Amino acid sequence: MNSAEFLPLVSVVVPVYNGEKDLPDLIECLRSQTYPTNRVEYLLVDNKSRDYTSTILQAAAKSPNQEGFNQITLRNLSENTIQSSYAARNKGIRASTGEIIAFTDADCRPEPQWLQNLVQPFANLDIGITCGEILALPGNTLLEKHAARENTLSQKHTLAHPFCPYGQTANLAVRRQILARVGLFRPYLTSGGDADLCWRILRETSYKIYFAESAIARHRHRSTIKQLQSQWHRYGESNKYLHELHGVDLMREFKIREYFYRLARWLLKELPVAAAKCAIARADLVDLLNTPIGLLNVRARAIGQRQAKLPELAREIERL
């Protein structure tokens, strides 16, 4: 099939929780997409928000078209039973009509050609999943700059997973017919659902995953220590959940001796070098504190992994 003529009907599903600050920019990004507007619908699913998310979505759905933007189909849904982004995504999938289901998040800013580049690989019938790249939005804080420098959310990390590659739902698309076969997200899972879905597809079918690197969504990194630690704590929970669900050893051991060795190496070797470079304007604060921030993240992940307990309901796979 000629990819230039490949324009399947697409449904974009976005779960939203307390997204009042993000929604105006997100909706503007959706209206700026180059994918033909008559071939795409956008389903934004409010997941028990406690701010003005519902009001904003209702207004956007009633008057979705503004001067200077594409006329888009924007649908406002709600998932008020289960507090989980995966349950919200399932709600959107069930209400969708597209043969391709794409996902992004409320705190992401897809570039104009995002959807077009994410969908084109499906012209190859062997491709069942595509994932685009996740890059950082410009950030001013030390922690945002650290995460951007480390490419924390890059799909290149998850695609290189030693057990099985996967793409993150911040920038992912799947054939609807596959979901009918392997099931939807586990609605009661709170972390790791993107890996779980991709692994079920890749291990239970012959479909392949494709990295559409030019399909770019930009993501706002965490700006406070509390937010960053929560993020890495959740990564640890994900390791534990996937370990239990898929029966493979995904646990990352936290070695206290290695932790203190890395800290001592930073204090005695890396810090003096970085400080000298800062003095001649060849380094900045991120260079000075890169190692201790990374060690804090590793510790938070280890705690999350140790404390996580998979709820029995999280084993359930919802069906289309």
- Distance, in Å, from the CA atom of 187 to the CA atom of 204, rounded to the nearest integer, reads 20
304 sits in which H/E element: helix 285-307
Q: What integer pLDDT is reported at residue 65 of this predicted model? A: 58
Q: What integer pLDDT is reported at residue 69 of this predicted model? A: 55
Q: What integer pLDDT is reported at residue 64 of this predicted model? A: 54
- Distance, in Å, from the CA atom of 184 to the CA atom of 186, rounded to the nearest integer, reads 7
- Where exactly does CATH 3.90.550.10 map onto the chain? 3-223
Q: Which CATH superfamily is domain 3-223 in?
A: Spore Coat Polysaccharide Biosynthesis Protein SpsA; Chain A (3.90.550.10)
User: Dihedrals φ, ψ of 96, to 5°?
Assistant: -80, 165
Query: In sequence order, what are the beta bridge partners of 12?
Result: 42, 102
| pLDDT bracket for residue 180 (50, 70, 90) | very high
Instruction: Select from 82, 109, 148, 124 the least CA-distant residue to 27.
Output: 109
CA separation, residue 207 to residues 124, 126, 161, 174, 197 (Å): 10, 5, 18, 10, 13
* 10-16 sheet: strands from edge to edge: 73-78, 40-46, 10-16, 100-104, 171-175, 127-136, 208-219, 108-110
Residues 166 and 195: beta-carbon distance below 8 Å = yes
Instruction: Select from 150, 155, 152 the least CA-distant residue to 195.
Output: 155
List the single range of 97-101, 139-143, 177-181, 314-318 with lowest mean pLDDT: 139-143
Query: In sequence order, what are the beta bridge partners of 10?
Result: 40, 100
| pLDDT bracket for residue 146 (50, 70, 90) | confident
Specify the residue for token string 């291990």: 203
- Distance, in Å, from the CA atom of 116 to the CA atom of 166, rounded to the nearest integer, reads 20
Higher pLDDT, 289 or 47: 47
pLDDT tens readout for residues 270-313: 888 877 777 776 667 877 888 888 889 989 999 999 999 999 99
Confidence (pTM): 0.90
pLDDT tens readout for residues 218-230: 998 888 889 999 9
pLDDT tens readout for residues 48-106: 999 999 999 999 888 655 554 568 999 999 999 999 999 999 999 999 999 999 999 99
Residues 3 and 86: beta-carbon distance below 8 Å = no
- Distance, in Å, from the CA atom of 17 to the CA atom of 228, rounded to the nearest integer, reads 18
State whether residue 63 is helix, strand or coil: coil
